[in-house]
Structures are given as C-alpha cells and as structure tokens.
C-alpha cells in the first residue's frame, strides 16, 4: 500500500512503513490480534526514529494503532506527533455497528471479505494463498473488533481524518467523532470511493496528503526532515 508514497510526498519527508507480524517478510510470525500488545512492541522499535518532527498515519485498523501509539508515546516518552492522520475508521470512542467478521466460519469469512472489497478478487480464488493469509486477516479484524476504548485526556496535536464517501464500514458521524480526541485542530476530508479509497483514488489522495504535510513543514521554524510513520490495514 505504501511502496510508492515516497515518490509522491514531499522530498523532506521520510516514509517509514510499519511491517507487522504475519505479513510479507514476517509471514512466518503469528499476527497480533490486540491493539495494546502491538503498540507495546511497536513503540520501542520506532523511538530511535523520533529524533525530529514526525506525524503518524493509519488506515482502517491502523488508525487505532496510530492513535494508541500516540497516547503511549505521550504517556511514556513525552512525545507527540505534529499531527495524527487517520483513515477509514470511526473514532475510538464510537461503538462499531457492523457484525464481527473475525470469528466467522471460513466460507462465511471469505464471502464477507469479498463484500468488504479489501482483497483483490483474484487473490480470493487462490486457495493456497488464502490459507496462508486467513490467520493474519482474522487477527486484523479481531484487533479492530475487540478494541475497547479507555478514557485519557485528548491529544495535544491536530487530528485529520480521511474517509470514503461510499465506505459502508464508516459514516460521517463516526468519523467526525475523532474531534473528541484532540484539543487542537480537527479536519475531516472525504474522497470518492469505498473503504480502500486510498488505493483506488491514490493520486488524488496523495496530492491532498502532500498538501497537508507541506502545511506542517511550513509551520516548523527549522528545516525539517519529517517522518511519516504508517500503519498496515486489514
């Protein structure tokens, strides 16, 4: 998802994708199905990268990871991103309305994936590939579905939320509730497309995201080399 971002985003931004267990080169590792153990493992790994201004971005369940990571960095390191960018996920304080997918029987799970539009149709037809990926996909949905929000003070950084106009997993009200988690600026931006609009509308989305990053870079008094840390999606 993030391979080409560094070619489009501002040259002074380092794009640092997070490769989670159970994916690509880490396929042999068991996927983590809970936000908090994942954040506990992620935080010490990225702290060495945070020696300069940074932002966090997460799509879908990655939004929860980015949010809880920002809160952990604040609690334990007194660090905050210049901005928290979240995408295609209702706010942490909002109860999910959709039926859980993570515990479905395999046939039902594959049918639900096809409706979700998160996997290419060709991939769903490759039985061996799907057998490898199903445990990771189930863990992703469990991470998203089993999350329980805990009260903490609002973040002292702006939050920008992106959403897809045809995304059946979110609604504007749920996206708008992210404003409850910041005492700084809040912006909501909507794009044509479903849950994976950042792929189907990639050029338009990255153009908008680039403008956001340029705005942040312009507010910094020194010449920065900002980092954009990204989270994987379900």
Q: Could you give the residue numbers annotated as active site?
A: 60
Which sign does the torsion angle of CA 227, 21, 91, 48 carry? negative
Q: Is 60 left (phi over 0), alpha (psi -120 to 50) or beta?
A: left
Q: Quick check: 207 and 198 in contact, CB under 8 A? A: no
Placement of tokens 């939050």 in the chain:
159
For residue 103, how many C-alpha atoms fall within 13 Å in the half-sphere facing its CB? 4
Q: What's the order of all strands across the beta sheet hosting 54-59? A: 13-17, 226-231, 54-59, 84-87, 159-164, 186-191
Mutual orientation of helices 106-116 and 127-145 as an angle, nearest 10°? 80
> Helices marked H in 53-181 — which ranges?
61-77, 106-116, 121-124, 127-145, 172-176
Distances (CA, A) of 232 to 21, 50, 57, 125, 128: 10, 19, 10, 23, 22
């Amino acid at each position: 998802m993030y391979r080409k971002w560094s070619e489009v985003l501002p040259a002074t931004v380092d794009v640092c994708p997070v490769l989670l267990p159970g994916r690509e080169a880490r396929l042999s590792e068991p996927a983590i199905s809970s936000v908090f153990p994942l954040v506990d493992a992620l935080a010490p790994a990225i702290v060495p990268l945070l020696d300069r201004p940074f932002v966090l971005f997460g799509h879908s369940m990655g939004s929860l990871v980015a949010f809880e990571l920002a809160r952990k960095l604040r609690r334990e390191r007194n660090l905050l991103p210049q901005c928290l960018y979240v995408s295609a996920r209702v706010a942490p304080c909002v109860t999910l309305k959709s039926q859980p997918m993570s515990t479905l029987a395999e046939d039902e799970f594959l049918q639900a994936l096809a409706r979700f539009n998160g996997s290419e149709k060709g991939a769903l037809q490759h039985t061996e590939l799907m057998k490898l990926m199903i445990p990771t996909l189930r863990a992703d949905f469990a991470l998203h579905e089993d999350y329980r929000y805990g009260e903490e003070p609002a973040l002292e950084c702006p939050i920008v939320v992106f959403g897809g106009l045809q995304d059946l997993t979110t609604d504007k009200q749920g996206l708008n509730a992210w404003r409850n988690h910041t005492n700084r600026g809040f912006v909501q931006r909507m794009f044509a497309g479903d849950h994976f609009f950042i792929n189907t509308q990639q050029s338009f989305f990255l153009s908008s995201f680039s403008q956001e990053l340029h705005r942040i870079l312009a507010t910094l008094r020194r010449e920065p080399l900002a980092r954009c840390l990204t989270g994987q999606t379900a």
